[in-house]
C-alpha cells in the first residue's frame, strides 16, 4: 500500500488547526513545536504505512509507560539523555567553557536531601551481607589543580543488587546517598560498598521495547556525582567501574572513557587501618576538576523532577 496524503490541503490544514495556528492565544513556541512533532509523526505514518493496529499499540504502550512511571527510564535507553549531554558539551565548547571532568547523564534515581557531612561519610547502613567494602576518595580542584574547599560532592549509587534506596523501599532512608563537603585540601572520602549495575525491570515497558530492538537493559556498576561550588560550573557525572560486563555496553549510554575507573582490591592491613577498615577492601579514586564560570545559571543543576526535591539547592 502506498498512500500519499501528506501534501494534501486537507492534511496541511488539519496540522495547522492541531497546533492552534488558527487562534490568537496559547504559547507560540509550544504551537510551533507541536506542529513540527505532529507533522513528523504523520509523515512517519505515511512513510512506513503504519496500520491502525500498529498505531493503537503505540498509543497504549505510551499509556502503560506513563502508568508504570518509566518514561524517564526509556528516555536514556533511547539515547535522549546522552544526546542532551552532547548538546551541552557543544554549547560549553562554543562558550569557551569546555574542559574539566566530563559530564555524563544523571539518570532518574537521584533523591534530594541526603545527609551532609564534612570531608568523610559512611554511606552504607552496614546491613548488606557479603558486600565488598569500598573506599572512595578524590580531590576536587580547579583546572589549574588548585584544591576547591567546601565543594559539595553529592554521591549516590546502587546496592549489591543494583537497587537504589527510596525506589527500593527495603533499604533504609538515604542508604548509599550522601553529600560530602570537601576539606581544606579539596578532598572527600566515602566508605561504602561496591555497587552492582542497574537493570531495567524485566517486565516493564522499557524492557519491552528494548527486546524489540534486540537490546539489553543493563548498566555497569557505577557511582553518580553532583559536584557544586559557587563560581564553578555545576557538574553532573558518574564513574563506571572498569571490568564490568557492561562497562562499555551501557544501555543508557553514560560511559565515557575518562570516567572509567579501576576498582583496586587492597589486601594490605596497614592500608585498611588507615581508613578504619578491617580486612580487605576495594579502593576507588575519582578526582574531579571543575571549570570556573561567573554565569549563575551554570552553577546549579538543571531543573527536572527529582525525588524529594522542592527547590534547586
Ligand atoms: C542509573 O543511573 O542507574 C540509571 C540511568 C538511566 C536509566 C536507568 C538507571
Ligand atoms: Fe545509577
Q: Label each residue of 144-187 as H, E or C.
A: CCCECCCCEEEEEECCCCCCCECCECCCCCCCCEEEEECCCCCE
**Pocket mutation for ligand 1, best pick of 74, 105, 162 (most atoms within 8 Å of C-beta):** 105
Residue with CA nearest ligand 1 atom 9: 107
- Look at residue 311 in the predicted model and tell me its pLDDT: 67
For the beta carbon of residue 281, count every other beta carbon within 10 angstroms.
Answer: 21
For cell 555497569, the residue is 220
Residue with CA nearest ligand 1 atom 5: 107
The whole-angstrom separation of Cα 283 and Cα 274 is 12
For residue 237, report the distance from its CA to the centre of ligand 1, in Å: 12
- Look at residue 1 in the predicted model and tell me its pLDDT: 64
What Cα–Cα distance (Å) separates residue 226 from each residue in 96, 155, 167, 291, 304? 22, 7, 19, 14, 14
For residue 22, report the distance from its CA to the centre of ligand 2, in Å: 45
| Per-block mean pLDDT, blocks of 10 residues, the chain (313 long) | 93 98 98 98 98 98 97 98 98 97 98 98 97 98 98 98 98 98 98 98 98 98 98 98 98 98 96 93 98 96 95 55
The whole-angstrom separation of Cα 21 and Cα 13 is 10
For residue 302, report the distance from its CA to the centre of ligand 2, in Å: 18
**Pocket mutation for ligand 1, best pick of 107, 165, 223 (most atoms within 8 Å of C-beta):** 107
**Pocket mutation for ligand 1, best pick of 69, 70, 72, 73 (most atoms within 8 Å of C-beta):** 73
Contacts of 54 (CB under 8 A, 6+ apart): none
For the beta carbon of residue 79, count every other beta carbon within 10 angstroms.
Answer: 14
The whole-angstrom separation of Cα 226 and Cα 222 is 14
Short-list 222, 192, 195, 217, CA closest to 207:
217
The whole-angstrom separation of Cα 87 and Cα 65 is 26
For residue 261, report the distance from its CA to the centre of ligand 2, in Å: 15
- Look at residue 310 in the predicted model and tell me its pLDDT: 87
Q: Do residues 175 and 125 touch, judged by C-beta distance below 8 A?
A: yes
What Cα–Cα distance (Å) separates residue 236 from each residue in 106, 259, 281? 6, 12, 27
For residue 107, report the distance from its CA to the centre of ligand 1, in Å: 4
For residue 299, report the distance from its CA to the centre of ligand 2, in Å: 22
Task: Tell if the pTM clears 0.85, that is, is over it.
Answer: yes
- Look at residue 62 in the predicted model and tell me its pLDDT: 98
Q: Which residues surround ligand 2, an ion (CB under 5 A)?
A: 107
Amino acid at each position: 500500500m502506498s498512500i500519499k496524503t501528506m501534501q494534501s490541503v486537507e492534511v496541511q490544514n488539519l496540522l495547522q488547526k492541531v497546533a492552534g495556528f488558527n487562534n490568537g492565544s496559547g504559547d507560540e513556541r509550544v504551537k510551533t513545536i507541536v506542529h513540527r512533532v505532529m507533522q513528523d509523526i504523520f509523515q512517519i505514518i505515511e512513510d512506513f504505512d503504519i496500520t491502525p493496529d500498529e498505531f493503537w499499540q503505540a498509543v497504549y504502550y505510551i499509556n502503560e509507560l506513563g502508568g508504570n512511571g518509566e518514561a524517564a527510564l526509556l528516555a536514556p535507553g533511547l539515547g535522549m539523555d546522552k544526546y542532551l549531554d552532547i548538546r551541552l558539551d557543544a554549547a560549553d565548547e562554543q562558550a569557551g567553557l569546555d574542559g574539566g571532568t566530563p559530564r555524563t547523564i544523571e539518570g532518574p534515581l537521584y533523591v534530594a536531601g541526603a545527609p551532609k557531612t564534612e570531608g568523610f561519610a559512611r554511606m552504607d547502613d552496614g546491613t548488606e551481607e557479603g558486600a565488598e567494602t569500598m573506599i572512595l576518595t578524590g580531590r576536587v580542584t580547579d583546572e589549574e589543580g588548585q584544591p576547591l574547599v567546601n565543594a559539595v560532592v553529592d554521591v549516590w549509587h546502587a546496592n549489591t543488587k543494583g537497587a537504589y534506596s527510596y525506589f527500593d523501599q527495603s533499604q533504609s532512608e538515604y542508604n548509599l546517598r550522601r553529600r560530602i563537603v570537601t576539606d581544606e585540601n579539596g578532598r572527600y572520602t566515602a566508605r561504602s560498598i561496591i555497587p552492582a549495575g542497574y537493570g531495567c525491570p524485566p517486565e516493564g515497558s522499557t524492557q519491552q521495547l528494548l527486546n524489540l530492538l534486540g537490546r539489553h537493559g543493563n548498566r555497569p556498576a557505577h557511582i553518580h556525582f553532583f559536584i557544586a561550588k559557587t563560581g564553578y560550573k555545576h557538574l553532573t557525572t558518574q564513574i563506571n567501574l572498569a571490568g564490568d560486563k557492561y562497562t562499555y555496553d551501557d544501555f543508557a549510554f553514560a560511559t565515557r572513557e575518562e570516567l572509567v575507573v579501576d576498582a583496586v582490591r587492597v589486601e594490605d592491613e596497614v592500608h585498611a587501618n588507615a581508613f578504619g577498615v578491617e580486612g580487605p577492601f576495594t579502593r576507588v579514586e575519582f578526582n574531579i576538576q571543575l571549570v570556573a564560570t561567573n554565569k549563575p545559571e551554570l552553577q546549579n543543576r538543571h531543573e527536572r523532577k527529582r525525588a524529594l526535591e522542592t527547590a534547586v539547592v
